[in-house]
Amino acid sequence: MKKFFSSIQLLLLGTAQAASQWQNVRLGGGGGFVPGIVFHPKTAGVVYARTDIGGLYRLNAADDSWTAVTDAITDDAGWHNWGVDAVALDPQDDAKVYAAFGLYTNDWDPSNGQIGRSADRGATWQFADLPFKVGGNMPGRGMGERLAVDPANPDILYFGARSGKGLWKSTDGGASFAKIDSFTAVGTYAPQPGDTTGLNSDIQGLTFVTFDSTSATLDGATSRIFVGTADNSTASLYMSEDAGATWSALKDQPGKFFPHKGKLSPAEKALYISYADGTGPYDGTNGAVYRYDIAAGAFKDITPSIGEAINFGFGGLALDAQKPGTVVVASLNSWWPDARLFRSTDSGATWSQLWEWADYPEMNLRYKQNVDKAPWIGPGFLDIDTKDLGWMIEALEIDPHDSDHWLYGTGLTLYGGHDLTKWDAGSWDEKLTISSLADGIEETSVQDVASVPGGTELLAATGDVGGFTFADAAALGTAPKVNWMNPQWTTNVGVDYAGAAVKSVVRIGNSAGTKQIALSSDGGATWREHPGADTSANGGTVALGADGKVVVWSAASGSVLRSQDEGAFSKVASLSSGAIVASDKQNGSVFYGGSGSSFYVSKDAGSSFGATGKLGSATAVRDIAAHPAKAGDVWVSTDAGVFHSTDYGATFTQTSTTLTNTFQVALGVGKDKESWNIYAFGHVAAGPRLYGSGDSGATWTDIQGDTQGFGSIDGGTKLAGSGNVAGLVSQSSSLIDYFGNNKASTADDNVGARDYYIVDEHHHV
């Protein structure tokens, strides 16, 4: 199943000529899966984290925050660059970083993958096109790293492909790649061969490439290379001792598991491998950890014992470069009661656990947790679940320059700390601190956004972590203390407010079989279940009447529904299933609808709808935005452009023929706080971008700029102009960004822009 994942961003535009600038609207906790972390082996503080749908990030070591380094390459044409399937660093040049870009190997992503290369730590990128797809959000995305730079020769890179495409090599520093025909293993495992979507039926290919930096060089290249493959038969680990000319399967290797990580300990001349019986990130009920003695050519099973049968595989694997023989491994998925992490200081001969059972159900813990950077993780997750340490642990690293600094990725956030060696104290009382350290990483699924004039500045309905309320503009720079709870659903897909009763808010979720609509009477600070809800409806779009008395809900699970005064929902027969719905923000009797090429109006508080004015040559109504302050003033986004009505939709005028094929449309307070800006995703001569107008749509200005991408503008993006702060607009697309001063500029002074919040959107599974 596809989902759209997003975040929220702010662009500042002023009057002086300067480039657009972006920073995060702060959630602080990541909000999604971090499958890979790479430390530079020689330069302290150079660290990258890859995400499956949120791009690539670089660590700011001074404060444990992260900076997005792929936003500029994720525009409408390059939206697939949000998926990062592998990362590699040049050991000889700490400014160089390489990444494998692409979201899916099935038809959800129509584009082939690319290997991106940057010589300035991600500030700018160049690309090598690949003749096949890359799957940064495909099953098995936590394995790796599939991309590696030869430590003896930085012109040489290897990339292990998916989909049976084999092993590829570059000899020009990543500018081009060619297939290595002598490597014939392709990684034949597919989780579900019969899956017609192609998501689980595609074979997962190669899982990691690891150079042996202790081996001799051959013609200037490292001679010994290890490659893992997604096979669980007799061989899944291969080695070359002649710089990739020939390959052979390692003898006596484990045969029934998939190798997830293969990491070299140079001082020990050993390769450590984590194995699981699933390829992740969700599966795995058995597994092992092995140590391969390179000189002896022998494997040793060093799997930690838990005193009972193992019901999980192993994913994350970290080595301490400062203390050879010190190893940390993590369960790929231990769904109850928590993740399992183990540490050995004697090359896996003995292990200690991060927690163990005391008198059941009590647990002895070697750690305490800190979520100051993302306080909502506490009440929203840690306080209501046993899995304090997380799940889907594939990325796990110890800083090669600091034995106390470590990081690991989960399905929710990125954890870590700066006192790892406390683990070795041998006492349950000497606890290390595990903190959420994902500040700046944003891959939260923002499904909808709303800004309430005279009320809450931003309401963000999100996937996986529910949703968030930002009371005012100042709150946009601070991680929320709590996510949407009581009721708490995994995903909220819609939110709306009452224009004349601004404390009244409604939200909807998309989980089938449970009640999925909630109300707030305090602007989204607290919530209660809608008393008229039943379990038959979920998803879709929702509209709350201007007086807060009527809810019209176009449910994805069926019909358009209506509830008045919090009563039971009944079917609205005059709107077809799947119609877009919106409310007039000043007249509680009026609602709007859109379906196909037709626009509909209800003047009896949503009881019935009738078709009204024509929308030119449009064949698809895509979004409806009622003016926050003027009754009967409504804007409609269509495949032919933006249309405007001032008479409740009786007649429409197209705003401008230069802006065509539009998707979302929104209104926000203009520079004098009396005028209103119009914002839309659409096409003009400059291409598909986010545009703004300060003259009622007569002219449109590109407000996206060249340094920020929002992914595909037709990928479910949402817009909400601020009703409180001049020039502020929230957009649901793919990264939550925030900016708060007046240094940038716009070519159109009429827009009166000062701050722009935006959110990007991706497909996620």
Q: For 144-202, write each residue's pLDDT tens digit.
A: 999 999 999 999 999 999 999 999 999 999 999 999 999 999 999 999 999 999 999 99
Domain boundary among 441, 461, 479: 441
The answer on 508 and 404 residing in a single domain is: no
In the block, which residue shows the tokens 């530079």? Answer: 40
The answer on 506 and 428 residing in a single domain is: no
- Is residue 211 in a domain? no
Is the pLDDT reported for residue 511 higher than 70? yes
The answer on 698 and 624 residing in a single domain is: yes
What mean pLDDT is reported for the chain?
Answer: 90
pLDDT mean over 382-393: 95
Q: For 72-114, write each residue's pLDDT tens digit.
A: 898 888 889 999 999 999 999 999 999 999 999 999 999 999 9
- Is residue 437 in a domain? yes
Contact indicator for 745, 697 with CB cutoff of 8 Å: no
Backbone angles phi, psi at 358, to 5 degrees: -100, -120
pLDDT mean over 274-303: 97
- Is residue 361 in a domain? yes
The predicted structure's pLDDT at residue 78: 86
**Other C-beta atoms lying within 10 Å of the C-beta of residue 311:** 16
pLDDT mean over 380-398: 96
Contacts of 77 (CB under 8 A, 6+ apart): none
The answer on 640 and 498 residing in a single domain is: yes
- Is residue 384 in a domain? yes
- Is residue 217 in a domain? no
Token digits of residue 408: 């690991």
Nearest by Cα to 3 from 536, 409, 447: 447
The predicted structure's pLDDT at residue 208: 98
The answer on 751 and 704 residing in a single domain is: yes
- Is residue 237 in a domain? no
- Which long-range contacts link 689-692 to residues 24+ away (Cβ below 8 Å)? 689/75, 689/76, 689/713, 690/731, 690/758, 691/659, 692/729, 692/746, 692/748, 692/751, 692/753
The predicted structure's pLDDT at residue 453: 96
- Is residue 63 in a domain? no
The predicted structure's pLDDT at residue 731: 63
H or E stretch at 377: helix 377-377
Handedness of CA 482, 488, 494, 498 (dihedral sign): negative
Contact indicator for 149, 213 with CB cutoff of 8 Å: no
Q: Cα separation of 366 and 353, whole Å? A: 8
The answer on 365 and 293 residing in a single domain is: yes
pLDDT mean over 653-679: 91
The answer on 388 and 481 residing in a single domain is: no
pLDDT mean over 481-489: 96
Contacts of 369 (CB under 8 A, 6+ apart): 382, 388, 433, 434, 435
The answer on 468 and 415 residing in a single domain is: no
The answer on 465 and 614 residing in a single domain is: yes
Residue 415 maps to which CATH number?
A: 2.130.10.10
Token digits of residue 146: 């599939």
Q: Is 464 a catalytic residue?
A: yes
Q: Cα separation of 703 and 716, whole Å? A: 19
The count of domains in the chain is 2
The answer on 435 and 352 residing in a single domain is: yes
Contact indicator for 187, 205 with CB cutoff of 8 Å: yes
What is the percent of the chain with per-residue pLDDT over 90, rounded to a whole number? 82
Contacts of 33 (CB under 8 A, 6+ apart): 51, 52, 141, 142, 281, 392, 409, 410, 411, 443
Contact indicator for 311, 334 with CB cutoff of 8 Å: yes
Q: Structural domain of residue 276, as residue ranges? A: 28-51+259-441
Q: For 329-342, write each residue's pLDDT tens digit.
A: 999 999 999 999 99
Q: For 22-61, write each residue's pLDDT tens digit.
A: 556 789 999 999 999 999 999 999 999 999 999 999 999 9
Domain boundary among 441, 471, 503: 441
**Exactly one of 277, 283, 404, 464 is catalytic; which is it?**
464
The answer on 569 and 429 residing in a single domain is: no
Domain boundary among 425, 441, 457: 441
- Is residue 724 in a domain? yes
The answer on 414 and 501 residing in a single domain is: no
Is the pLDDT reported for residue 708 higher than 80? no
The predicted structure's pLDDT at residue 23: 59
pLDDT mean over 474-488: 94
Surface-to-core class of residue 695, CB atoms within 10 Å of its CB (0-12 exposed, 13-18 middle, 19+ buried): middle
